[in-house]
A = this chain, B = another copy of it.
Amino acid sequence: MPTIPSNIVVYNLITKRLFSTSTSKNMNYVEKVRLLDYWKIQDSSLQNEFPRSHLVLMVDRRLLVTKDTPDVKMVEHSYGDLKQLLGEYGLQFDLSNSCLLDALPADNDMIPLFGTSIEAADPPEDSPISKSDVLKQLGNSLGGRFTDIRMAMLTMQEERQRNLLAKFQTLTKWAATYRRCPKCAAALKMRTSKSGAECVTCQKVYYPTFSPVSITLITDPTNEHALLVRHRGSAGGVFTAVAGFAHSGESMAECARREIAEEVGIEVDLIQSLDMSQPWPMPDSSLMIAHVAIAKMDQKISVCPDELETAQWFSRQQVRQALETTLSDPQLKKLPRTLDDRQTLHYIPPAGAIAHQMIRRWVDGKIDFHNSRI
């Protein structure tokens, strides 16, 4: 492997030997992340592991999750079981449509967790059953149901599940896009793990891209009011925090300040990190980084009409009411339907979104600039 410096190879050989003599019970966090790092770049090693792997599944960009459980999780299958169950529906998967998500403890070892994303063929025109019926049956056979990725992100309770799904969606979408070198248009050779791709001609390596995003809860100087916004096209009655992609050459605080000016037309006096972040895969892959800002309430709000429908100040009590409504109806089933009512605060994002966690901390009085250590 001429493109890999020899010290990596030596290091990996040492590391690999370590793993092969240790049991999973002895495998600590350091060994696990080094094994994942090894699998990421050593295609042949990861290919050998594939038949021992476990997998989670998307079909037609819908995620297989548990059903009839209070907490939504991805359904995991062993490679052999999934081969057989999908085979009964004439469906196949292989390494080309799979990406490496994690390393799981097995009997005496670690095995890879892959995410595999396949397309179901359309049934023949004269078929008596529709494609959605087929997917429903397939979900049942696989011990779960298929659901929308955004809804899964918003409602999964475990951070680990959400982060694995974010990785699954980001790597799947990236690997489907990065086929040719942006510089010279030659083919890209994709790693088995989908963690990188190298141009066969100019040897430039590309990595899965996702961008830092600031998400900022704006409060007034008394800390008793919050400015929340409604995005165009978002579900009726749902308000959230201001967010936007960082631009080249700005710090996260500058990003937050600029996004607030662009989107709601006001200047903030102070910005502070909340020490919370969350990978978020839609519509583009990002890493949401939470901030809080103070702005005076007497400034004229002027929303960017391309992004936002409205932006309004709310009292802590109004936001608490929306938090409680959201917690009692996490699937947002009672969304308002009339146009006027859509513009009224009824809900905040469900618990899987970092905006929910930020707003909840503020409602509970746990966000306060006076406690700042900076």
Contacts and interface: CB of A to CB of B under 8 A. Distances in A.
Interface in A18-46: 28-30, 33-34, 37
Interface string A330-373: 00000000000000000000000000000000000000100111
Contacts of A33: 258, 261-262
Nearest to A210: B248
Interface in A285-318: 285, 287, 289, 302, 304-306
B248 A30 contact: no
Contact of A267 (B28, B206, B245, B251): B28
A175 to B, nearest CB: 11
A245 B277 CA distance: 15
Given A163-B249, A179-B183, A210-B246, 19 more contacts: A7-B305, A8-B306, A11-B306, A30-B265, A30-B266, A167-B247, A167-B249, A168-B249, A170-B248, A180-B181, A180-B182, A208-B248, A248-B285, A250-B279, A251-B287, A252-B289, A275-B275, A289-B289, A368-B373
Given A37-B262, A212-B212, A371-B373, A164 B279 contact: no
Contacts of A372: 373
Interface string A186-199: 00100000010000
A118 to B, nearest CB: 19
Interface residues of A, number: 78
A248 B166 contact: yes
A251 B212 CA distance: 11
Nearest to A286: B212
A28 B258 CA distance: 12
Given A101-B249, A212-B287, A249-B101, A275 B272 contact: yes
A273 interface: yes
A321 interface: no
Nearest to A205: B284
A204 B306 CA distance: 19
Interface of A: 5, 7-8, 10-11, 28-30, 33-34, 37, 101, 159, 163-168, 170-171, 174, 176-185, 188, 195, 204, 206-212, 245-254, 257-258, 261-262, 265-267, 272-273, 275-279, 285, 287, 289, 302, 304-306, 368, 371-374
B11 A305 contact: yes
Given A262-B34, A304-B11, A373-B372, A171 B248 contact: yes
B179 A182 contact: yes
24 contacts: A10-B305, A29-B267, A30-B265, A30-B266, A37-B262, A167-B248, A168-B249, A170-B249, A171-B248, A178-B182, A180-B180, A180-B183, A180-B185, A182-B182, A195-B247, A212-B287, A212-B289, A248-B285, A250-B279, A253-B277, A273-B275, A275-B275, A371-B373, A372-B373
